[in-house]
Structure formats: structure tokens, C-alpha cells
Amino acid sequence: MQFITDKHELMLRNHDLFQQEATVYSENMCGKLTRARGIKLSELLPKLEFFKSLGPTSSEILWVEEFLDKHSRARCCLPKGHAGPCMHKLDAAVPSSFKSKIADCHRTPGDKGLFMNRAARHFPIQLLRSARIQLGKVDTPFAIPLEFSGTGFTTATAYFDWASLLTLQQGFVANDFYSSHISKYREHAEFLARYYLSSYRLKIVNDEGYLCDPFTFETLKLQWWNEGHHIQFGHVLPVSDTEYRTRGMNIIPMTRETNMLQGDRPWTQFIEELKVHIAKH
């Protein structure tokens, strides 16, 4: 079978374009490579050897190895000019209410079989979903689905956005981590609110100035972050196997109900289709 396809190449071309055009991150986010790779080589190498045993071509092996060197390196998601060491994950830094959900910036959803369960999004062996059918029954997890994958850069931008948006949560209280960064994160949050409104007619901050559900405009309640899956990790443009979509300027918090309504449609398509159905009544 073909492991690395034209979609993989398109993924990286779109990634490079986003990195060039999303200057808000080069201007405001640190983005430096961190000491920690974000992926343990002791865990990666056996999976890479298993991948090689499945018969990929030399060029496919080279693609994975080059991705590992270039894109499977964690990057700092703190504001540019920050004091202290760089950080590539903020799960333990943000207030505890938000720890579980912000972790989705770097971890893939739960899975089984050949696809790893909650792995780093910048893991280098990224395969199409069709690999599950083509390879048959494989019980050794060694890859992640292409549509849920990313790079060290996209992961950093995701964290930068969510750390920023949390400052607009009703009832948010800055902890020690935020005491040094809140002004720059809040500035970016205000940029995101303007960006989503102008680009997608999507309102993520209501008239009270708090994070809200983009469909109902209801203020997101602080306790909802601790109530199972009530607040979910929403994508304005749905996940794709031709473009990394779990990245900055594309992920927002929304209620479970709204996430289910949107489904796998782009936000603007969801709203326009909804208008058509409502007009029939």
C-alpha cells in the first residue's frame, strides 16, 4: 500500500503557507524550539521500526524521518519576550478547571488498533484513515490519523489561542502563570474575537464581554469546564486530511450541543444551511 500520499504533501504545503501568512504568531508568540521534543524517542523508535516492517518505500521512510527532524519538535507557546524557560505545553500551567480541555491542543482523540490513543499531534507517522482497511487487523499502535495530526508549530499556535481565550472566560481568575502573561494573552484574545467576527461572522464573545457559545451566544459558565464534555474543542473549519486544522485561528470552545449541530461542516456552511431549513417553517 501507499503510506505517504499526495495529501501528505498538500498538508505540508498548506502548513508552510499558514506559517508564512499568520504573522500574528511570528509577531506575538515566542515559537522557539524547546529543549523537550514533546515526543519521547524511546517510545517513537520502536513504532518507527514497526512501520518499516510493513514495507514502506525508502522515500516514504525518508518522508517520516524528515518530518521528525523538521516538524516533530515542540515550540514555545508563551508570548514573545517572556521571562523564564520556554514552554510547549500549558496543561499544568492554566487553572485546573481548564487543564483537561486545553490538553486537546497537543493530543489526538482516543483511538485503537494501529492508531495511537491520545498521542502528540506532531507525531511523525501520520496516515490516512483508509490505512486501517488496507492494512487489515493491526493491533500495534504506531501511527496517528492524518486529519488529527499537526506539527510543533500548529500545536504551539493552538495553545497560544486557548491560553488567550481563557482570559475572557466569565469567572476567570489569573493564577501565578497568568500574572506574567495575561496582558499579551488578552490582547491576542481580543484579536481573535475580531478575526472570527470579520472572517466568519462568528461571535465568540458576547455583549457582556465574556466567552460565549457561538450559536446561542450564551455565556460559557465556569462550572461547565468541569462537567464532562459540556464544553468541547470546536473547529471553525472541520478537521481535514489536506490541511492541519487543529491550529491557531481555527479552534474555539463551544457547547457539546453546538458542536454536534455543526458536525463536520465549516461554520459558515452550517449557518447558511440552517437558515434554509428555518425559512421552510
Q: Is residue 1 part of a domain?
A: no
CA within 13 Å, CB half, 215: 19
Stated pTM of the model: 0.95
pLDDT at 9: 97
Tens of pLDDT, residue by residue over 258-272, are 999 999 999 999 999
pLDDT at 262: 97
Q: What are phi and psi of 51, to 5 degrees?
A: -55, -45
Q: Is residue 124 part of a domain?
A: yes
266 CA to centre of own chain: 16
Q: Is residue 259 part of a domain?
A: yes
pLDDT at 162: 98
Q: Is residue 52 part of a domain?
A: yes
Give one DSSP letter per residue of the chain, joined into a string: --SS-HHHHHHHHHHHHHHHH-HHHHHHB--PBPSS-SS-HHHHHHHHHHHHHT---HHHHHHHHHHHHHTSS-B--SBTT-SSS--S--TTTS-GGGHHHHGGGTBPPP--TTBPSS-BTT-S-EE-TTHHHHH-S--S--BEEGGG---HHHHHHHHHHHHHHGGGSTT----HHHHTTHHHHHHHHHHHHHHHHHHH----B-TTSSBB-TTT-PBPPGGGGGSTTSEEEEESSPP-SSS--SSTTSEEEEEHHHHHHHTTS-HHHHHHHHHHHHHT-
Residue 219 pairs in a beta bridge with: 212
Q: Is residue 238 part of a domain?
A: yes
Say how many domains are in the chain: 1
Q: Is residue 261 part of a domain?
A: yes
Q: By residue range, what is the domain housing residue 114?
A: 6-279
pLDDT at 137: 85
pLDDT at 236: 98
pLDDT at 227: 76
* pLDDT, one tens digit for every residue, the chain (281 residues): 899 999 999 999 999 999 999 999 999 999 999 988 889 889 999 999 999 999 999 999 999 999 999 999 999 999 999 999 999 999 999 999 999 999 999 999 988 899 999 999 999 999 999 998 899 889 999 999 999 999 999 999 999 999 999 999 999 999 999 999 999 999 999 999 999 999 999 999 999 999 999 999 999 999 999 877 799 999 999 999 999 999 999 999 999 999 999 999 999 999 999 999 888 88
pLDDT at 112: 86
pLDDT at 256: 95
pLDDT at 151: 97
